[in-house]
Structure formats: C-alpha cells, structure tokens
Amino acid sequence: MYICASSKDKFVKFLESLVGVLLTASGCTIAQSVNEPVLSAIERRCGPLSDYQQVVITEPNHLLRAGGESLEWSGHQPLSPQALAIADIIGAKDLIVQIPILEAQADRHVEGAQSQLFQVRQQLSDHILLGLLDVKSAAAEADCEEERADQLADRLQDIREKRTRRLTVFALLGSGIGSILSGGLALAAQGTAAGAIGITAGTTESSFGSLALLDKTQTDFRHERNLLGEVWDGPSEPRLMPRSVWTFLNRPLRDDPARRSLRETLIARWRQDGRLGEEGSETERQRTLLFFGQGGTYDIENLRARGAMLDLLEADINLMSHDLEMLMRELLARGSSPALMKACGGYCR
C-alpha cells in the first residue's frame, strides 16, 4: 500500500484542521460557561431595608430604682450569675433588682407594691422577648448570607463539572481519532507520519486534560452588608447587629482562661480551621480583603470558606437564646412568691 506525498500533505492538513476544531470548541465551551448569569437566579436580600434602630424599652417612672433597699431575696433562691449577666446584656438588670425589693414591700403590705411587682414582671418579659427577636433576626441574616454563598458555590460547581465533562469528551475524541489514524498509517508503512500523528494526538489529549484540571471558575459576589466584616473589625457600636447580640458576642467568657470574648474565639476558630489560609500568607491577605470587605471575585473554594465562617457565626449568635431561656425559667421559678401570685392572680406561672 502506497500513499503519495500530496495525499500525505492533505492528510496532515486535515488532522491539523481537526485539532483546531477541537481546540476552538473547547474555547467556546469555556467562554460560554464564564458568561453565564450565575447570580440572576439566586441573588436575594438578606438584611433589613435599613440599619438596625436600637430600641430602648421605657420603664414606668414610678418603678423603684436600685439603692436604699437591701437586696435580699425573701427566702427564694437568687438568680444565677449567668442569668444576671444576660439580664444586664438586654438592659433588664435594674428590673431584676426590683423583684426582691418589691417582694419585701408586698409582704409588708406597702401600698402599690403588688401592682408594681406585676409591672416589673411584664417589663422583664418585654425585654426577654425583644432579646429573643434580636437573636432570631441576627441569626436569620447570617443563615441567609451563608445560603447565598453556598448556592452560588453549587452553581459554579455545576458549571465546572459541565465544562470538565466537555473537555474530557474532546480529549477522548482527539486521542481516539489520533490512535486510529496513526495505527492506519503504521499499517501503511508510513512510520514518520504515524509518529507525528501520535504526538499530536497525545498533545491534544494532555492539553484538554490540563484545561479540565486547571479550571478556575470564578464570578463576582457582593456583600455590602457584611456581618463577617463587623465581627472582624470589632467596632464599639454595631451597625449591622442588634446591640444586645453584639454585647453578648463581646463579653468576656467566664470559662476561658484568657477571658476572651465569643467574637475573639470565633476569629480564632476561623484561623484554626484554615478559612483564611495559612497565617501570614498571601492567601490570608487576599481572603481578608475579600471576605471582610464589600465583595469581589470569588471562586468555589472561597465561597465555601465564607459559608462555613457564617455558619459558625450563626451558631454563636444562637447561644444567646439559651441564656435568655435560663433567665426566663429562673424568673418563672420565682413566680411562686405569695406576693407575686396575689398580684397577678395566678397567671405568673
């Protein structure tokens, strides 16, 4: 079997054209994936329409203020230090102080003491309810932001997998065609042409394989309301979180030897889990600017890291609800006070 030089040249040109078509197709695949509107289907608002307006519950002017009376608890168990701490955080400590004072006055049948005791209980309930709503609001925003990051990461992951499948198909197609053609030429005793085709096919396969492995799917992701940034910066007054939640996150932890706050231990966990990259590295510098700013170009790995950081923040915020529940239970346990039961007609239990 003999293949003339002109036929060989035409065959080589055909192979070059085939490789060019495969490379062009892969380029179109990549371009189409990058230009897909990945944000349009999942972008949503997580925060309120405006920054938090801190609410202060006004107490009746005729309620007693602390001072002048001994803080004895009339034979009942006093509130635990943890309950007193959360009461201080939600601005209810002055009301807590009134309970033993008013109970003692009610036992002495001081005029108006019973009704004031009932009003104090109502005020305490309002403070606890507002604290729970603050927790729910802050945790919901953190959860929503986490979902935004995770959903976008899932979308980019789908794009990456589709692109990888296409590149794999092109690699297999180029390798298969090259193997068939080089084998045919080898049988026709055209060793040089067969070798050239084999090299070209191998190069084509490795090129597509490298494109699949080195794929870096990215997109723009904005977060002007950035809870992570507020936690990282640690301002004295919060702009995005309710003040009660912010105070809870920044109070020193009693069981921490270094007396660090929840906010400080949260940042330490981010570092320990590698969410910011190795300490002092260029990755840490870039992620710090990206995660705690107003947004930028994210890849899948950065979106996953941001979502995990928000998940930890949400968990720490929700811890406040446990302390509020403890405060409520301890107050309900004091509802068996005879003076209080008489004041509220048995509805304080």
**DSSP class per residue in 263-319:** HHHHHHHHHHTTTT-STTSHHHHHHHHHHSSSEEEEEHHHHHHHHHHHHHHHHHHHH
Q: Are the C-beta atoms of residues 95 and 123 closer than 8 Å to each other?
A: yes
Residue 251 has pLDDT above 90, yes or no: yes
Question: Which tokens sit at 181?
Answer: 């053609």
- Can you tell me the distance from the alpha carbon of 277 to that of 271, in angstroms, rounded to the nearest whole number? 7
**Phi, psi of 165, deg, nearest 5:** -65, -40
User: What's the pLDDT score for residue 291?
Assistant: 97
pLDDT, tens digit (0-9, with 9 covering 90-100), for 224-240: 999 999 999 999 999 99
Domains of the chain, by residue range, sit at: 79-177+214-332
pTM, full prediction: 0.71
pLDDT, tens digit (0-9, with 9 covering 90-100), for 128-148: 999 999 999 999 999 999 999
Residue 3, classed as helix, strand or coil, is coil
pLDDT, tens digit (0-9, with 9 covering 90-100), for 256-305: 889 999 999 999 999 999 999 998 899 999 999 999 999 999 999 999 99
Question: Which tokens sit at 190?
Answer: 């055209």
Q: Strands, DSSP E only, in 117-269?
A: 218-222
Place of tokens 């004072």: 101
SS3 content of the chain, % helix, strand, coil (to 5): 65, 5, 30
The mean pLDDT value of the chain amounts to 75
Residue 73 has pLDDT above 90, yes or no: no
**Phi, psi of 251, deg, nearest 5:** -75, 145
Helix axes 81-89, 93-107, angle to 10 degrees: 120
